[in-house]
Amino acid sequence: MPVLFEQFRDHNGTVVVFASGDPLFYGFAGTIQQFDPAANMKVYPYFNSIQLLCHANNLSYASLVTVSVHGRTWDELDNALITQAPILGVLTDQHKSPSAIAQRMLEYNFTNYRMILGEDLGGLHHHSSTFELNDAINYTAYPLNCLILIRTSRQAFSHGIADHLFYGLENRPNMITKIPIRLTSLSCLDLAERHVLWDIGFCTGSVSIEARRQYPHLRVIAFEQRAECSEIMDRNMRRHSTPGITKVMGDFFETDLHIYPVPDAVFIGGHGGRLEELLRKLDTILPSRGRIVLNAVKEDSRWQFTAIAQSLDYKLSEPMVVRVDDHNPITILMAEKR
């Protein structure tokens, strides 16, 4: 594209671009705005593919949310499904096809949608069909297609997943951040205003999953050293319909962290007795106003966190002590980088 736009600039005259549909809808007009923001542009649009599919099925699209997985990640679709958008228009590609989308939705328990598929819309073989997701996974669509997902029912949702609904480590039922601690810790992280959360020592994945459900816009990167937790996390993500969490297995201190998005929120679920080293490592990564939350069981962890955060000139909040049933009290500590 840069080469093409250099040719456009060298041309002393009007450039005419023919594009199908609406070029401002994931189209070439957006490309022009990206590569030549100062261009004097006049657009003569037609209906886009999602509109044509709505017209063919007499669907009102005033509240329709459009997402694209065409040459992109699953993020837009995942986020819209987690929020349970009532009607979704989806632009597909060869790999993220209608059958692949249906399979992913079923894998993560998004069973409360039906699919309307449009093929070769505006072409000689234009056609639309309605599928249940179980049927769509076996259907091979025409290469040029798009689809609409219509929510048939609303899945139950609560701010706080009961602890017993998580798969856990065998014979270690207490190895989970309990629901009151989990929700308070997420509140301390101020995630509505954050973009990237690192969950260090995810274990069952309860904190990552809760954060992903409540804040679908959030990129969640979850780190864990224990190999057996990998499958537990996968099972819990599927059970609680939370695709899109990036799972990183291995020793955090030996992981190349530069390949992951920089966090502005960090939850420390485990530190392997290396809390000072961990906090100093995070300090080299966190941006200004980045937040760290630690749940401390031992008084030594509380003292150490406070002392190191002060030495790094972090702003400390008043500790909160929470006790759940007959478990040991937990001190929730939060520090914000100045």
pLDDT for 69-89, tens place per residue?
A: 999 999 999 999 999 999 999
Domain count, the chain: 3
Confidence (pLDDT) at 157: 86
Q: Is the pLDDT of residue 31 over 90?
A: yes
- Per-residue pLDDT tens for 268-279? 998 988 999 999
The answer to whether residues 249 and 283 belong to one domain is yes
pTM for this model (two decimals): 0.91
The answer to whether residues 77 and 190 belong to one domain is no
Q: Is the pLDDT of residue 173 over 80?
A: no
The answer to whether residues 179 and 325 belong to one domain is yes
Last residue of a domain, one of 122, 151, 180: 151
Nearest to 296 by CA among 266, 242, 243, 333: 333
Which of 16-30, 168-182, 196-210 has the lowest average pLDDT?
Answer: 168-182
**Has residue 301 been placed in a domain?**
yes
Strand-pair category, 113-119 with 246-249? unpaired
Q: Is the pLDDT of residue 170 over 90?
A: no
**Has residue 42 been placed in a domain?**
no
- Per-residue pLDDT tens for 136-160? 999 999 999 999 999 999 998 888 9
The answer to whether residues 187 and 330 belong to one domain is yes
DSSP type of residue 257: G
Confidence (pLDDT) at 158: 84
Instruction: Assign residue 134 the CATH number of its domain.
Output: 3.30.950.10
The answer to whether residues 122 and 220 belong to one domain is no
d(CA 264, CA 195): 7
- Per-residue pLDDT tens for 238-285? 999 999 999 999 999 999 999 999 999 999 998 988 999 999 999 999
For range 94-101, the mean pLDDT: 97
**Has residue 192 been placed in a domain?**
yes
Interacting residues of 240 by C-beta distance below 8 A, sequence separation 6+: 109, 161, 165, 209, 213
The answer to whether residues 193 and 287 belong to one domain is yes
The answer to whether residues 236 and 331 belong to one domain is yes
**Has residue 41 been placed in a domain?**
no
**pLDDT bracket for residue 327 (50, 70, 90):** confident
**pLDDT bracket for residue 338 (50, 70, 90):** very high
Task: Residue 185: give the domain boundaries.
Answer: 163-337
**pLDDT bracket for residue 182 (50, 70, 90):** very high
**Has residue 179 been placed in a domain?**
yes
Instruction: Assign residue 198 the CATH number of its domain.
Output: 3.40.50.150
Confidence (pLDDT) at 126: 92
The answer to whether residues 206 and 66 belong to one domain is no
The answer to whether residues 198 and 333 belong to one domain is yes
The answer to whether residues 55 and 111 belong to one domain is yes
The answer to whether residues 117 and 200 belong to one domain is no
DSSP string, 75-94: HHHHHHHHTT-SEEEEE--S
The answer to whether residues 72 and 197 belong to one domain is no
Q: Is the pLDDT of residue 27 over 80?
A: yes
3-state secondary structure of 147: strand
Last residue of a domain, one of 151, 176, 197: 151
